[in-house]
């Protein structure tokens, strides 16, 4: 018998079916702070509490599609270039509604020019500095801590910082992104020497003028995708 053939006595209802959700920790660098996008829940459970955007996976969609959809539906933020699966959270009592397993993602977005817009079961949507967060619903504080740890680790061996920057940027702006993620200052000379030695940056024949400071050369990443550093 072909493995695609279903025996007449097979009963899918004989097995428990946990619900599956996706939750997204979406980060951006703005106002010289690392921010994460949160929604205020408009329905039970945890109505009125802040949470990561997310929701139930539909039977007709894969996980990545569900993550993009929930982020767009609940916050109005669509088209994240960098969205990566983080971890699966399955503590038995993590959701009071039923047995829910959540596949968490983290996303990186350039500094937004459009304010997030709440939708579906979200009452509000807002960027929050990661160092000034409210109490979070479900186990979302644990998810966020895991996402921050992954992002900081990934920064050490990939070019993932590209996703938080505009296509053209100064070396100072690049260093600022690293410092915001790592939560500490970096030596300017050593940072620039290391980044320029990776061959991931391309110097442009453009400069940015601002205030009383000297014009700063603009750069771009040779590839706007995660690349391993040497």
The catalytic residues are 124
Q: Which sign does the torsion angle of CA 178, 86, 76, 61 carry?
A: positive
Cα atoms in the 13 Å half-sphere on the side-chain side of 157: 3
User: What's the full length of the chain, in residues?
Assistant: 230
Contact between 146 and 87 (Cβ < 8 Å): yes
**Interacting residues of 121 by C-beta distance below 8 A, sequence separation 6+:** 41, 42, 43, 55, 74
């Amino acid at each position: 018998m072909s493995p695609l053939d279903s025996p007449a006595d097979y009963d899918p209802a004989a097995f428990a079916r946990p619900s599956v959700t996706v939750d997204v920790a979406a980060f951006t660098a703005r106002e010289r702070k690392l921010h994460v996008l949160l929604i205020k829940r408009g329905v039970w459970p945890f109505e009125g509490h802040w949470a990561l955007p997310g929701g139930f996976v539909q039977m007709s969609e894969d996980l990545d599609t569900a993550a993009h959809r929930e982020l767009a539906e609940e916050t109005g933020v669509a088209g994240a270039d960098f969205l990566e699966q983080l971890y699966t959270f399955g503590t038995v009592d993590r959701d009071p509604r039923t047995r829910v397993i959540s596949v968490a993602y983290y996303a990186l977005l350039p500094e937004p020019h459009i304010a997030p817009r709440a939708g579906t079961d979200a009452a509000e949507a807002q960027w929050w500095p990661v160092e000034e967060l409210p109490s979070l619903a479900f186990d979302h504080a644990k998810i966020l801590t895991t996402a921050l740890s992954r992002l900081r680790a990934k920064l050490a061996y990939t070019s993932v910082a590209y996703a938080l920057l505009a296509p053209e940027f100064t070396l100072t702006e690049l260093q600022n992104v690293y410092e915001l993620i790592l939560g500490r200052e970096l030596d300017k000379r050593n940072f620039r020497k290391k980044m320029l030695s990776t061959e991931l940056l391309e110097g442009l024949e453009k400069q940015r003028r601002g205030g009383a400071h000297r014009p700063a050369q603009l750069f771009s990443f040779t590839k706007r995708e995660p690349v391993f550093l040497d």
